[in-house]
Amino acid sequence: MQNYTDKFRGSPGRDGASSYKVPQENHRPAKTLPPFVDRGWRAGLPACANVDLAQRVPAIVAVGGGKGGAGKSLLSANLGAQLANAGRKVLLIDLDLGAANLHTYFGIGIPNKNLAQFLVYQNIPFRSIQLPSGIDGLQIICGGRDESWADMGEFGFGSFSLLWDALLGAECGEFDVVLLDLGAGIQKYTIDFFTSAHLGIVTVLPEATSIENSYSFLKATLIRLIENSGLRSSSCAAADEVRQQLFHSGSSLGKGGYLRKLESLRATYPELVDHLLSALKGRNLGLVVNQVRSQRDIDVGQSMVSVTRSYFGFDALYLGHLNYDDAAWKSLRNNRLLTVDFPYSLLARRIYEISRTVDTTVGLAPTNSSKVRRKVL
């Protein structure tokens, strides 16, 4: 029987990679774009993230997930390139602390001036760590070497204050999109940056361990949003009580999951729950399934979107899938972007399709549709 993905395959391309021509983009960047400072989005930001309403905030997209090897950096690097090719001005930041490898996709080494230097030693300007990626319109900030992060010691509450100020202040106002490549796991700083995104993307493999880790990542994100909502609404005590009732080992959720339980707690904690629900609706969450080999693998993503909406309460959508393709590891071995090394591969086509959906989701793409999902005032 023919595999579901086989019918989409074209003729073999370079090194045997499947071929599919990616349409060329000719979009002109918008002359002026509104600041992405939706009240619901602000409601879920960490306390250390201060939005200057006088400044234009770029669309923030964060790529994360609970399991390493799920394709976060592959998607981040190539997504950034595709958005830039569409006429967007993009800043791509490697936030996989201690295991930074995003620079490898662009064939560059870790420079002396990188994110670690900026945060640890605090003696260089933010603009000086932005490097040309080789793609017009795309700048990259490398993460830094392990020993540099070790000098930082324990990551405290204000360890990233300089980066928060840069992201939400004038220093990133020139960019249309800031794209964050997060590390694996559910460390506090990782979840904080994921909650800062207008669009958070979770990459997942169609296997039990990856799916389980992704749900753990979503749970950690919901917990953090409860804490952030408590701080933002001056309801910290209520936030602690709600968190206990939702996540205590003895609590019963029933079929409706966390969302139904939250709605039942609204009468007791009206201000906090309203603030939290606003935070949930003020940000989009997208899922991408990587290494797809069959229709069953694709269905994993659709199923997870349904659970993410009804059980967790996130405004979730299915961004698409990435086929299993040798072009992925071959391009990385060549230290080149997949969309550059294998531009006619099926995998490049999938990334192109995801980039168009991301562009529309954050409200940047020109469209005649009235259904553009836009998180702006």
Domain range summary for the chain, segments of one domain joined by +: 22-27+35-361
pLDDT 10s digits, 137-176: 999 999 876 555 555 555 554 568 888 888 888 788 889 9
Q: How many CB atoms lie within 10 A of CB 329?
A: 11
Residue type, 317: L
The residue ranking higher by pLDDT, 335 or 230, is: 230
The residue ranking higher by pLDDT, 11 or 260, is: 260
Least confident of 84-88, 108-112, 244-248: 108-112
Task: Decide if 328 contacts 15 (C-beta within 8 A).
Answer: no
Report how far residue 214's alpha carbon sits from residue 316's, in angstroms, rounded to the nearest whole number: 14
Confidence band, pLDDT 50/70/90 cuts, at residue 74: very high
| CA-to-CA separations, 319 to 43, 94, 188, 263, 304, in angstroms, rounded | 25, 21, 25, 28, 12
Strands 284-292 and 199-204: parallel
CA 207-71-340 angle, 5° bins: 140
Which residue has 């004038």 as its token pair? 170
Residue 2 has pLDDT above 50, yes or no: no
Q: What is the structure's pLDDT at 375?
A: 34
Q: What is the structure's pLDDT at 11?
A: 36
| CA-to-CA separations, 10 to 297, 325, 355, in angstroms, rounded | 21, 13, 21
Q: Across residues 277-299, what is the average pLDDT? A: 94
- 0.75 exceeded by the pTM? yes
Q: What is the structure's pLDDT at 371?
A: 32
Q: Across residues 234-263, what is the average pLDDT? A: 85
Least confident of 18-32, 79-93, 209-223: 18-32
The residue ranking higher by pLDDT, 358 or 158, is: 358
Confidence band, pLDDT 50/70/90 cuts, at residue 120: confident
Residue 183 has pLDDT above 60, yes or no: yes
Residue 79 has pLDDT above 90, yes or no: yes
Nearest CA among 254, 293, 285 for reference residue 373: 285
Residue 54 has pLDDT above 70, yes or no: no
Least confident of 153-162, 180-189, 350-359: 153-162
Confidence band, pLDDT 50/70/90 cuts, at residue 12: very low
The residue ranking higher by pLDDT, 21 or 135, is: 135
Residue 347 has pLDDT above 80, yes or no: yes
Q: Where are the alpha helices (DSSP H) in 133-207?
A: 146-150, 161-168, 188-195
The residue ranking higher by pLDDT, 82 or 19, is: 82
Question: What class is the 22-27+35-361 domain?
Answer: alpha beta
Strands 59-64 and 90-95: unpaired
Q: What are φ and ψ of residue 157, in 5° steps?
A: -60, -40
Q: What is the structure's pLDDT at 251?
A: 64
Residue type, 140: I
**Percent of the chain residues topping a pLDDT of 70:** 80
Q: What is the structure's pLDDT at 297?
A: 95
Residue 350 has pLDDT above 50, yes or no: yes
DSSP reduced 3-state for 88: coil
